[in-house]
Chains A and B, each alone.
Chain A
């Protein structure tokens, strides 16, 4: 049972804690790979992309990679969309990420530090 929020002060304390948790995550040198899982993305094959990413993460024991999801950002023409946030590059958004492209992103960008320019979407 979580503690209930009973005032604005409670809410802001909760927020600070959530912020610290987030900070800790990024300080550990983790890489975040975020798959856009709105219905548009799913229709364009985002589940296949997500599966490929999870498979690769498991196979290669990429423990520092955190795979998560977000909603649709409204760039339907570019779906499926995957975002990569590493400690040294700022957020990179990729479009048209098929399972094959997703595996390349993990190999070349997440491990190799080289952004796949051909698939980058300007946001």
Chain B
């Protein structure tokens, strides 16, 4: 990764373009190159800035300075004064009025650099994951030592609560509150479960943490155990991650040897044991109650909720279930304090978020950035642009159960709040970038096939719904559907999201719903004209055969 120290966004909505935004954009590239800053400053575009007089707008991060209207001759001054020398140019700033709602979020971003900030991945890829010496050398077990010898369990919970840490498994529930529920629930023993059944397609952040920094999860689970008063912990690792399992087993063993896990940790009266458990291949086991059933030796079928695991969890006892990424945030928070943590990210969504970038971009991989970054920044800066210069068509966020964001919405900042408002799920942090060669029907087919295969079969709406939706999308892709099928799909999809027993059924048709919302025309072409515009679906084959016969 290049260390981008600053970022320039030029507005390119229609009105800005009419006033020369494109020339301004290119002038920025030229001038930045002239000053030898190309490696350190990224230039990108922003579309929806709202209708205003002072366009084209230019926003410079990390200062969140908004310039406008920016004429071609102003660019040199901005680059020299602001980007090169580091002084904001007051007379070119946009008038201090209320910013249009579309870019009001830029204010929250003041002071956050558009660069990576690694908290949970601070050691992944740096240390030897088999060496406890390496871990301790890099601040390992300091947080646990501090918690056990200097803090009460209530103080640990209070610190986590104050940090504003939210669960990173998808739902975003405040971690501190979850811990205090379990701590105050009567019943014993209590359990800590680390949910490492990361099965959402396109997501592998947890694997990276487990494989790159396994000791941090051992440390974090022990802290959680101390906070809620548990002495047993389970880590449920999906069967497809044998390497992660091996490394966790090793980490547990090494920590026990040094008295950092097991009986009398750090020489105190506190004891905690961790049991690794390998899954056997079931997406549904990522759902916490299904995971608990599976740990008990049964089919991984979700329980009705309530009761929640916080009161009725493993073996019917109060249980904390935390995702790997959530837990990985715990030691740094205790080490550095809640105040430090709150300074990262946006006020309502604190800390960082790990994203995986996949699909038709030049660079695939994983980044950890402060909350609030936009999709466009992710694609342009970290994904290094679209592969083969193709155009962006859509992004699926949060894995197969996630939403489809069409290209026109790519300036929405990625944080729990803005996403909720825009009806987009941040979910697991997977960002699947699809270019213009992607057929939405074909994509929906792959996604619906996944849910048909992974449905556990417990409740009817999901069991029948996933099957019917897959059958219909198949017919659409073969040119055998009728228009009223879309209505049937919509009805099934609504029923599933309303009455399915668990998150799988509730979200299985999210992508389909969005595709019908944003790309209905393309779907209808498959039905009415029997044509797949991108040429991917089976009908495209029929088409070319027909053409050959005819011609």
Contact = CB atoms under 8 A, between A and B. Distances in A.
Contact of B211 (A21, A72, A75, A76): A72
Interface in A21-64: 21-22, 36, 38-40, 42
A74 interface: yes
Contacts of B448: none
A7 B128 contact: no
Interface in A72-102: 72-78
B212 A73 contact: yes
B243 interface: yes
A45 to B, nearest CB: 15
A95 B255 CA distance: 33
A40 B266 CA distance: 36
Contacts of A73: 124-126, 212
A15 B130 CA distance: 16
A7 B149 CA distance: 8
Interface string B368-389: 1000000000000000000000
B528 interface: no
A102 B241 CA distance: 27
A55 to B, nearest CB: 21
Interface residues of A, number: 33
Given A18-B136, A74-B365, A122-B1, A8 B149 contact: yes
A70 B145 contact: no
B211 A74 contact: no
Contacts of B5: none
B127 interface: yes
Nearest to B1: A123
A39 B245 CA distance: 12
B14 interface: no
A75 B366 CA distance: 7
B547 interface: no
Nearest 3 Cβ contacts at the A-B interface: A71-B212, A73-B125, A6-B267
Interface of B: 1-2, 121, 124-130, 133-134, 136-137, 141-142, 145-146, 149, 204, 207-208, 211-213, 241, 243-244, 257-260, 266-267, 362-368
Given A14-B258, A71-B213, A73-B212, 6 more contacts: A5-B266, A7-B149, A15-B136, A69-B128, A69-B130, A72-B366
